[in-house]
Structure 1
Amino acid sequence: MIQPRRSIREKLVTIVMSTTLAALVVSVGTVVAYDLRSYKHALLNDLATQAELVGHMTSAALAFDDARLARENLALLRSRPSLRAAALYDEHGALFATYVAPGETGDFPVRPAKGGRPVHAGGKETYVGAGDELVLYKPISENGELLGTVYLRAQNQLMERMRDYLVICACVTVLALFTAWLLVRRLGHTITTPIDAITNIAREVVARRDYSRRAPRISEDEAAELVDSFNAMLTEIEQRTRALEDSNREIAREAQERARAQQEVMRLNEGLEARVQERTAQLELANSELELAIEEARNANQAKSAFLSSMSHELRTPLNAILGFAQILASNDMPTTPEQKQEFAGHILKSGRHLLTLINEILDLAKVEAGAVSLSMEPVPLADVLAECQGMIAPLAAIRGVRVLFPDAPTARVQADRTRLKQVLLNLLSNAVKYNRDGGAVVVDCAQPAPQRLRLSVQDTGMGLSPEQVASLFQPFNRLGQEAGTQEGTGIGLVVTRRLVELMGGEIGVTSSPGVGSVFWIELACVDLGAAAATAAETPPVAHAGAAPARADRVSAASPATVLYIEDNPANLKLVQEIVRFRPDLRLVCAPDGHFGLSLARSHLPDVILMDLNLPGLSGFEVLAQLRREPDTARIPAIAVSANAMRADIDRALAAGFARYLTKPIDIGQFNEAIDGVLATRAVDEKQPQ
């Protein structure tokens, strides 16, 4: 079969389009395949992390057969829109608790008939892909014992992402091919026009035998050489009788032209090799950057695993004491004496306070990392801060038998946030006491290393640190080189300390000698080194803003003040009842929700209202707004009692009109001080003429 004749222009277009298409397919296909693979791994890792967190949160609910708590924990998954449904199965594979996202179906695998195998009971972590959904079964274990199985069903966006990529690739391919076609159509004539001219002249010479015709020279490249050769051939045929010398000169000229052409080809080849080497170097650089990115991602994943492991250990340690002693006190099979009950309650209180300290340290680190820490920079008298720190660190030092030596009242002032500066110094002092030897010493010193700079140093007589330990000291969960379990704490205190010092415009450092001890120091801007004492002497003492007069001077036991407590949690309600039971000057009225609380407020007109913010039906803010709109209840002071301890939540409540803000867990001393202060303020307001 005779192939149809194709022009040079068509062949050129075909070659360019084919090359462009092949390059696009290889490059775009490689990028899309790598991105889809990375996305799939990220999706599976994220789902596994969610299952791990759900397992940790609901292990207690499974252990105590508390389905309501399990459902509340699963309801927290509503913040993850990609999760369509979740469920918990007990150790026998029976459905224990479920969660279904809005608009989704609640179909869950159920245990088969009697004698059948439970739903993934005792199985390993399993992924199941079904269309546009991805299902994960993950067992929940506690101390080697299987508690149940987490079931997560999430939206599988891999196929949708693949379809999007196919559409994008198709559009890019069409656009690139169309652009290449336009360029070939636009620029191809520079190659094909001289060849077409030679073809036409050759056809006319053959047809008419007219050797005087010449092909036009319209370019300066290899095509021009072809035209010259063709015209030379015609000239040679036309002047067959020309002398041999002319023929030799023509041959020599052609040889020179060929030599120049060969040199030009060699030059082009050298340039091509240089470009290939350049592209190879760029590719190697890109590969090295990719390996570095992969290594950084692997290190980040390991850091995340270390974080979760450390947090699990540190949070479970105090919880073990709290739950263990609480079970002993609540058990009828384990009778205890009043002395044992008091001892166990002391252990529970100590562990609870330690757990609260851990949570506060984690929140501090989170706020510092997120840049959410607001500082109030002012000239701070150093003597006052050191005196407060000395009073707070003395009990801890007395337990260890450690002597803490402070300098004589320095007259300097530093530019800092007073609260954060005290937090920094207390953290350094507590570390110096905790990691000191029994009967050791801690020395606090104040010096001026440079003009307008003040250095505070804390020196201990502990075991000291090696250079390797010092290098990794300011990293989360690094406990000053101590083995895990020898000291309580998260190991993030120094991280927060360094960030706070840097936010205050200062520096922090450490020098240590193994077997001798360590010296931690901070440097801050010095405001005044000489006149601070005179200024402090002229300034009269200022009473604490929250101080209240003695309770006996405010409220008479014969006419107790009425306190309304609006709280939906029975345990919290019982706790406040027990606290108020020891206050004969108070009478407590309780309401389980906002609507009932409004009714009691209108009927009893209490002297003060305690209110949880997260109430069913009406929130605490809505109840307060309703109270302020009614004349009879508008002047009743309200105290917020909430587990939300972030600064933004506290500011929002105070701005809404709450007189005080108490955070859970409730501190009994702060609780009594808040009520006494509010009652005293109201008594003063009522005595003033309206």
Structure 2
Amino acid sequence: MIVRSIREKLVTVVMLTTLAALLVSIGTVIAYDLRNYHKALLGDMATQAELLGHMTSAALAFDDARLATENLALLRIRPSVRAGAIYDAKGALFASYRAPGELHPFPVSPQTDDLRVSGDDLLLYRRVVENGELLGTVYLRAEYTLVARAVDYLSIAAGVIALAMLIAWLMTRRLGRIVTAPIVALTETAREVVSTRDYSRRAPRISDDEAGELVDSFNAMLGEIEQRTGALETSHHAIAREAEERARAQQEIMDLNEQLEVRVHERTMQLELTNAELEVAMAAAKNANQAKSAFLSSMSHELRTPLNAILGFAQILTSESLPSTLPQKKEFAGHILKSGRHLLTLINEILDLAKVESGTVTLSMEPVALADMLVECRNMTEPLAQQRKIRMLFPDAPGAVVQADRTRLKQVLLNLLSNAIKYNREMGAVVCDCSVVTANRVRLSVQDTGMGLRPEQISSLFQPFNRLGQENGSEEGTGIGLVVTRRLVELMGGEIGVSSSVGVGTVFWIELGLTQPVPSAVGEAVVLTLEHKPAPVPLADHSLLYVEDNPANLKLVQEIVRFRPDLHLLTAPDGHLGIELAKAHLPDVILMDINLPCVSGLDALKELRSDPRTAHIPVIALTANAMPRDVERGLASGFFRYLTKPINIDEFNEAIDSTLAFADTRQLAQKARNP
């Protein structure tokens, strides 16, 4: 069985080798012949088409169909050409030729130059062009016998391969016995050694060729195996014991690795948690730093704004070079008093926030009658509402008494009421309501008819220094009043909330705990108002435009300029109007506040610089943004000078004079260049 298998393998190898060689050689010959036939036929047809086109160009030019037909008749000496035709330039059949017995129709219209095989036919289209002019098209159809030739060749190849394979098989059968006899003897000896484990047996040497050398090597191998088998059997048990010990050690190492992976995973999770906490802490520190910077910038602006009016009017009152009348002094004192009270309010808000944040605020909890409290708050806020023609609606003497700190509760209510007035519409209304929500809780609500708040604004409403609704700078304030209000309400055991609809209004409410009623007294509030009398504007040589939204600061500059008869002052309360006045009057100098409603001072400066009519006018910044980075940014933006509030009158006049001198010099130089 094994001998037959080896012999069959040898025969199979020889037969496959022979078959592969025959296939490659015969296939190469056939492919070469078919390729030469294909190329020769294509070249012959192309040459024939070129010749016909050249011969019939004259017939096409002179419309001689007879001559074209005679030229096509020459194709009868080419039996392989079955049909031919000549088309004129319009695609009409001009002359034709068919071989005997040919029935295929001619194409309806000629195509562009083409050469292709269609079944057993070779189709050729060739345009006839003479001196760049298309005269017509030659069409030829010839027999394409490539497939028939290939079939013939394959039939011959099959016969040759069959004969060659038979001869190879007969020769291999004879030679196989000579080659495989020594291998068969060696195989039988090896089978007996394997079955009996008797390594003393030896294979017989039959030949002196490579097979004989293989037998000698096999016998030598059996001797070596016989010698080493004893040693292997002796050391087998030791090796087995060593393998068991290694397996046990490997298992212990795997257990240690698993424990180590668990520990590494735990440490990694701890490290990731620590890193996440560190990132949160860093983000919080960054936010705190940004909030601190924003707070300092906001406080610098908010504190300098009232200080500007206080110090400015005080300089006028104490200056001997700027005499003023008694009514003017009273008016200036009123502005100083108003700005001082506003400054005190800002300082109190900052101190309240600091106390609340540090936890040092102390409360004196006592029963507080809401009726008395609402009357006090109404008397204090109605004058402010009347100035803006806003109606104030309060409940009719509610009998509820809450447990709260009287001073802090008044502070909370005044803040909510003043915000409702501040962010209301002109001719709007503020509605204060009181209702019992549970047996132990009462709700006070303050509703306005302002523009309302968007959901994203409400979510950040109680964040410190968030001047929500004051993005355009139209209202004064630090943005910390609601923060203090919320924390004061929470310290009094209450709760605060808000609801708003854009375009309709906003409702702020607080809930406090009820207690037993106590007697109350209603206080009176006195509001001091100052009469405002604008000063006349004198005629002057130079015009000065001041863009400022704060009335007190505007009045201060008006009073300073009033003592300068060489200046004519124009004023604008916002950036839009300032730009329009600058374009209409073309002033010599422009004073510009930066924090303006609608359009900021920086944006107004950009628009003035972009307009050729106002690009030459020097602009001086006059602002409460006094941080070093604000000054650098302002000068980099294109301000000619940068003045900070409070105003120093001498510095103010020097800046005006130097700027006017620069403007006059530039104007004279321009006139000299353009006489």
TM-score (norm 1): 0.41
Q: Which has the larger radius of gyration?
A: 2
TM-score (norm 2): 0.41
